[in-house]
Amino acid sequence: MDSQDESSLMRTNSISVTLKEWDIPMENLFIGEIIGRGTFGTVYRGKWHGEVAIKRIDFDPEDVDDSIRVEAFKREVALLHKTRHENLVLFMGACMKAPDLAIVTQLSRGETLYHLIHDRDNIMPINRTISIASQIAKGMGYLHAKGIVHRDLKTRNLFLEDNSRVVIENKSHLYGYFFFTEWGGISRWGNYLNVPPFWLCYIAPEIIHALNIGYVLATTTNELPLTTSSDVFAFG
């Protein structure tokens, strides 16, 4: 065995140990009402040593692509367990035995920044606006310092806990191994791209360009120019 094979084996063993530490058997979870749906699966309110959000992943054992996604899912979990920041949703563990794949996080109780901006009649004071923007920047700076790209920063993924602390939902990172067209709902119609409402203003021009030249139906997020710079564009 050469040094490269030994290095690869050591990384695999290290990931396996990490996964074991963060594995939560599905039977240990109480799964309650549905609080969200997406092309990746379904989000439930649940209980595991307190209230949590349980994000179950759709999985078809007969689909070859899904077996690849399981391995990618495990690599994501190995990375996610290292993220701890007051402005990020808390990752608590994962169910990693297919077909019961799920991510367990803290349950975000606050309203979204989108709701605060669009659904209320009041105008935010400048000091509060600066505080919210500063907290988002701190959370995103932490992710970027760890080499993590969020991929889906927008006001609907930002929660205000206790009406003051910003919590960033990093679900795009959790499901980053899925096709961009799946989690984005982006599709092609003739020479046009169909982009879901409220998305276009967050997508960097280089991503739109990449999708437009033919990546949209056959590429993973890792092959698109999703970078810290595209996160900064979404931040505004």
Binding site listing for ATP: 55
- Residue that finishes a domain, picked among 68, 88, 107: 107
Give the residue numbers annotated as catalytic, written as ranges: 152
- Residue that finishes a domain, picked among 107, 138, 170: 107
CA distances from 78 to 13, 21, 24, 85 (A): 12, 10, 14, 17
The conformational region for residue 103 under phi > 0 = left, psi -120 to 50 = alpha, else beta, is beta
Residue 21: band (very low, low, confident or very high) from pLDDT cuts 50, 70, 90: confident
Enter the pTM of the model.
0.77
Both 137 and 70 in one domain: the answer is no
Q: What is the mean pLDDT of residues 182-209?
A: 69
- Residue that finishes a domain, picked among 57, 92, 107: 107
Structural domain boundaries enclosing 113? 108-235
Instruction: Specify the higher pLDDT residue, 63 or 144.
Output: 144
- The span from the CA of 187 to the CA of 78, in Å, is 31
Is it the case that residue 217 has pLDDT exceeding 60?
no
Both 81 and 148 in one domain: the answer is no
Both 149 and 223 in one domain: the answer is yes
Instruction: Specify the higher pLDDT residue, 209 or 188.
Output: 209
Residue 223: band (very low, low, confident or very high) from pLDDT cuts 50, 70, 90: low
Is it the case that residue 8 has pLDDT exceeding 70?
no
